[in-house]
Amino acid sequence: NKIIRIGIVGYGNLGRGAELAIEKQSDMTLVGIFTRRAPSDVQPVFTNTHVYAYEELSQYQDKIDVLILCGGSASDLPQMSPELVTMYNIVDSFDNHAKIVDHLHHVQEAATKSGKVGVISVGWDPGLFSMNRVLGEIVIPDGGTHTFWGEGLSQGHSEAVRRVTGVKHAVQYTVPIEDVLEKAREGIGADLSAADRHKRVCYVVADEKDYERIEQEIKTMPDYFAPYETTVHFISEAQFLKDHQKMKHGGFVIRSGNTSSENKQAYEFSLALDSNPKFTASVLVAYARAAFKLNQFGETGAKTAFDIPLSFLSPNPEKI
Ligand SMILES: NC(=O)C1=CN([C@@H]2O[C@H](COP(=O)(O)OP(=O)(O)OC[C@H]3O[C@@H](n4cnc5c(N)ncnc54)[C@H](OP(=O)(O)O)[C@@H]3O)[C@@H](O)[C@H]2O)C=CC1
Ligand SMILES: N[C@@H](C[C@H]1CC(C(=O)O)=NO1)C(=O)O
């Protein structure tokens, strides 16, 4: 079996997680990290990991089989995924649910020109949770689906806040609304929106002169915050570094209903994550394997988690 040669694009929480996850794969090797910063400013986890400038990417097409894109969904991936799938098989974790279909079309259009595979919006939500929502609806056709996240740190929302001008550090915690959560377990409230089910709490480090503008920009941010009850706390850098370094998260998908007239069936998938980015990166690495295998089989174009057989994710498909 060929060793799959991986490149990581973007070195933040997810990029670091990908570097660690690749180390655990016997069928993969990390060729290098590509960053928009000066390579000397980026300290990889492993000292023998090469760091290159993003602009050098076009020179590695014969040395890399798949790129794992670890940029932010707020603004990086909409530009990077269509751009890089013209040269490489890619995987991304694009998670702005309101824009996933547009992203799929943009990657599809670019991938048909290059004959590469672009796996988009994988991770856990979108990703594993999406797969379980669909599977629940298929096997329990007459019922309702409930998705809850947290309480925990959303990387997508945290990254989106960090992109607001003047924000020096930021995290966002997603908090499920307790009574809605309890009713969901009784199968009540399937038609509620994510904003009916959760509140969002941000902790931000910035200059005081920018507080009012930053709070307003966060609360009105389309898709990520506008639909939600959102609280913004401004704290000192010292407090941030002391209290907000953990990235725990998790949640669950419940599907409950009837498979025939007289029964009550319940289907549940849950995650409890000590590190959101390290878990997500491990999912991305599995989909990098699938992107490579699909392309080897002659597949091209944009793919989501719904399009990819589980066997393509496995390092040992003969054993499953
Ligand atoms: N589908 C899913 O289930 C999930 C999706 N995600 C997605 O992953 C995305 C990335 O999350 P995360 O890794 O936490 O985001 P980060 O903010 O840590 O990193 C995003 C990018 O910012 C740049 N960056 C990182 N650190 C610094 C720094 N100190 N100074 C300047 N630039 C920096 C990096 O690019 P560069 O190296 O080029 O500078 C990096 O790729 C999220 O936006 C989210 O959408 C996350 C979890 C789950
Ligand atoms: N994409 C999310 C993964 C989950 C968590 C989440 C939320 O807390 O809103 N939505 O989906 C992330 O970036 O962490």
Please list the ranges in the chain whose pLDDT falls under 70.
Answer: none
Pick the closest to residue 250 from 275, 224, 231, 223 (CA basis). 275
Specify the ligand 2 atom closest to the Cα of 194.
9
Please state whether the predicted TM-score (pTM) of the whole model is above 0.80.
yes
- Residue 260 is predicted with a pLDDT of 87
Question: In this structure, which residue's CA is closest to atom 10 in ligand 2?
Answer: 125
pLDDT at residue 232, rounded to an integer: 98
**Angle, alpha carbons 204-209-210 (nearest 5°):** 45
Q: Ligand 1, from 76, 130, 155, 241: best to mutate by most atoms within 8 Å of Cβ?
A: 155
Q: Which residue's CA is minimally distant from atom 4 of ligand 2?
A: 125
Beta-carbon contacts of 8 under 8 Å, excluding residues fewer than 6 positions away, are: 15, 18, 19, 22, 30, 32, 33, 34, 67, 68, 70
Question: How far, in Å, from the CA of 175 to the mean position of ligand 2?
Answer: 11
Ligand 2: list residues with CB < 6 Å: 95, 124-125, 149-150, 154-157, 174, 249, 276
The 10s digit of each residue's pLDDT in 143-171 is 999 999 999 999 999 999 999 999 999 99
Written as six digits, the tokens of 178 are 């307790």
Taking only the tens place, the pLDDT of each residue in 245-293 is 999 999 999 999 999 887 889 999 999 999 999 999 999 999 999 999 9
